[in-house]
């Protein structure tokens, strides 16, 4: 999945960018307070996309 598509999916599900780390961006869910790291790659594997969504407590794209 393209990173920009994942970012759009996260924003659509009440998640926001918390901070930029060295190699990752930290995103948090505003509704439940859960956070996770999202790598800064152009392509993110479907397995990792599912893990990110599970960590944030949102549905998978």
CATH of the domain at 26: 3.30.920
Cα–chain center distance at 24: 10
Q: For residue 12, give its domain range.
A: 3-56
Whether 9 is in a domain gets the answer: yes
Each residue of 34-59: pLDDT tens digit?
Answer: 999 999 999 999 999 999 999 999 99
Domain count for the chain? 1
Q: Are 26 and 18 in contact (CB under 8 A)?
A: yes
CA 61 to chain centre: 11
Compute CA distances 34 → 18, 37, 42, whole Å. Answer: 11, 11, 24
Q: Is residue 14 part of a domain?
A: yes
Is position 61 within any domain?
Answer: no
User: What is the rounded CA–CA span in Å between residue 11 and residue 40?
Assistant: 16
Is residue 23 assigned to a domain? yes
pLDDT tens digits for 4-40?
999 999 999 999 999 999 999 999 999 999 999 999 9
CA distance 10 to 48: 14
């Amino acid at each position: 999945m393209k990173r920009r598509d994942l970012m759009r999916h996260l924003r659509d599900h009440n998640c926001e960018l918390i901070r930029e780390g060295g190699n990752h961006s930290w995103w948090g869910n505003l509704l439940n307070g859960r956070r996770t790291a999202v790598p800064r790659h152009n392509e993110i594997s479907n397995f990792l996309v599912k893990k990110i969504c599970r960590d944030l407590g949102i549905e998978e794209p």
